Structure 1
Amino acid sequence: MYIIYKIIISMPKKQVKKTYCQHNNKEILPDKSTSNNANHNDRENVPIQPKFGPALSFPYQKIWSRCILISGLFLIVWFNSKQGKEIIFAKQHDTFLSRSQHLQCAPDYTNELKIYPGCLPEKCGRIVTDNLISSQETDTLLQIAKNAMNLGGSDGGATIFDLHTGALSKGTKFINVYALKQASSIFNSTDFNIYKIIKTKIHHAVAHHFGVDADKIFLTKPTFFSRMTNTPAKTIHDKYWLPHIDKNTYEHFHYTSLLYLNDFGRDFDGGRFIFIDKNNVNTTIEPRKGRVSIFTSGAENLHLVERVNTGTRYALTVSFTCNINASISDPSY
């Protein structure tokens, strides 16, 4: 054994392997894994014939496929842009001391106000505040609205009650609620005095936020309560969801304010106030009890009220003019 060991050590490695195998009466067999890999590679190199014949192709196939892909992307972008963009300016659950958004005044609005010194706003736009009117004051106004509207009511989705004239929607027409016998039991001087306090607060807020002299702006008609529901419209007055500009509807309007008397998402769904801005952008205010929205009445503030889906939405509109000849005094009963 020692002699064999010395011989093996002195041999080259290949020969050692062969001799060792022979000494142990073993045969060196070819490496099966190598053979299998070779066969596998051969099979991979053999092209696979399609079961149903060669694939269809046409000239400039890659170019056309890319064009189709790009066209699809453009279509998606166009469709999304048509949907418009919504900015929530004031959510129902938010509370703002004051939040403002400035806009460029419409030319016709600016030109008209130049004839009323001290009434041209520093900047046009819109303001929202939640700390101007107290909850108790809001409750008083809401009760006035409900008491009056219980004596009438529109057949459509929008009921209007004008506090100054007593005009109230009833059916498809208007009646004078102050001429009714029941009026003496639902209206009183205390409620009207609370309204005057609220109106004065809004008046000074308009002057402050738009940088105008409070003595240069005047309360104007109509000042009215509104009740909106999902009842189908019967007359044009019921279609409160149509886009409009306040100054086109009421020529003497220069500043518009809205006091919301109940809550979006609690007392009603839908009924949000939407400004329709440039570039297909909507700026939305969600009504909140006691929230006051103030905005310039020109074409810079095209807007609508979203259709109410469920519940009943109450609000008070108070507007101001720079034209003293279009002013009105506070209501009294």
Structure 2
Amino acid sequence: MSNMSEIGDALRQGSSWRSSRWLGALLLVAVNVCLGATWLYVTTSDSDITETLAGQGEIVSPEPRVFIVKCSEDYENYKRYTGCTPQKCGRAIIDSLVTRDEAHVLRRLAERGLALAGSEGGASILDLHSGALSMGKQFVNIYRYFGDQISDVFTAEDFKLYRHIILYSFAVIAETFGLDPTLMYLTKPTFFSRINSTAAKTQHDEYWHPHIDKETYGSFDYTSILYLSDYGSDFTGGRFIYIDQNGNRTVEPRTGTHYFLVKKPFSINHVSK
């Protein structure tokens, strides 16, 4: 089968996926420096949740809901960048970063890209910056694999909206936490993520393990998550959970919810199954 035929078949498959139950999100991360990856195995359950930072039925707008937390002293062990390195740490939620229509456009963009392949397990990613796309038990570069034919999948308007949302995300994070957006840069990975109930085939599919972001991705100082589907109607599970010393806190995904974090480097979090 030619690559063009593969694209055509994938796009037809993608249209049928829109009615399936899946958790979709766009994960954006800003700032630099890379370290290794670490998984922590900690058990938690829904019954352990002590606070919901934002419920699925809530609309947090026009101002973000901000939760300031104490920064870890371990931050002193990392290189600092004036105007960019966090001076305070916290978590914030806002629903006005994008409209629901814009979120739906992003979701359709992600569906078209992920329909080209996808993981054999339950978690697939599409990284428009690097071109990484889950395919079976590995990753391929969509720009090399499909070449110029990728223009049949993504349009200039798709990339324009994508860039706009990234820049707006920078501005919201900077304003909320007193940073200079001109000194913030995207690092890797930056990706769309689709999670479903298919059994995991590789470690990359095991999204539910509690972990420490700053150790898993040393380049992360800030993480920005934009949800593209609704908890309770599009999917069950999939809640973002922070495992704190005094209890577990969760965010219930809602289409268009923007959840962003200034890292408390050694706090543990995970996505529920």
Which SS does the other structure have where 1:248 is aligned?
helix
CA contact (8 A) 1:103 1:300 kept: no
CA deviation after TM superposition for structure 1 residue 284, in Å:
0.3
Q: What amino acid maps onto 2:255 in structure 1?
A: K
Of 179, 185, 201, the match for 1:212:
179
**Percent identity, aligned pairs only?**
44
Name the structure 2 match of 1:229: 196
CA distance in 1, matches of 2:50, 2:193: 25
Are 2:269 and 1:303 equivalent residues in the alignment?
yes
Q: What amino acid maps onto 1:162 in structure 2?
A: D
Structure 2 portions without partners, runs of 5+: 1-46
In proportion to residue count, which structure has more helix? 1
Q: What amino acid maps onto 2:53 in structure 1?
A: F
4+ residue stretches of structure 1 with deviation over 3 A?
Answer: none
CA distance in 1, matches of 2:155, 2:56: 32
CA contact (8 A) 1:106 1:298 kept: yes
Which SS does the other structure have where 1:269 is aligned?
coil
TM normalised by structure 2 equals: 0.78
Structure 1 portions without partners, runs of 5+: 1-82, 308-333
Name the structure 2 match of 1:291: 257
Greater relative contact order (Cα < 8 A, sep 6+): 2
Name the structure 1 match of 2:53: 89
CA contact (8 A) 2:214 2:266 kept: no
Of 211, 217, 221, the match for 1:250:
217
Give the paired residue count: 223
Are 2:126 and 1:151 equivalent residues in the alignment?
no
CA distance in 2, matches of 1:300, 1:124: 12
Name the structure 1 match of 2:243: 276
CA distance in 1, matches of 2:272, 2:142: 28
CA distance in 1, matches of 2:106, 2:178: 28
What is the 5 A alignment of 1:166-181?
166-178=131-143, 179-180=145-146
What is the 5 A alignment of 1:89-128?
89-97=53-61, 98-112=64-78, 115-128=80-93
CA contact (8 A) 2:222 2:263 kept: yes
Which SS does the other structure have where 1:142 is aligned?
helix
CA deviation after TM superposition for structure 1 residue 119, in Å:
2.1
CA distance in 1, matches of 2:187, 2:70: 24
CA deviation after TM superposition for structure 1 residue 137, in Å:
1.5
Name the structure 1 match of 2:231: 264
Deviations 1:297-318 (A, max 9, x none): 34354210111xxxxxxxxxxx
Q: What amino acid maps onto 1:257 in structure 2?
A: S
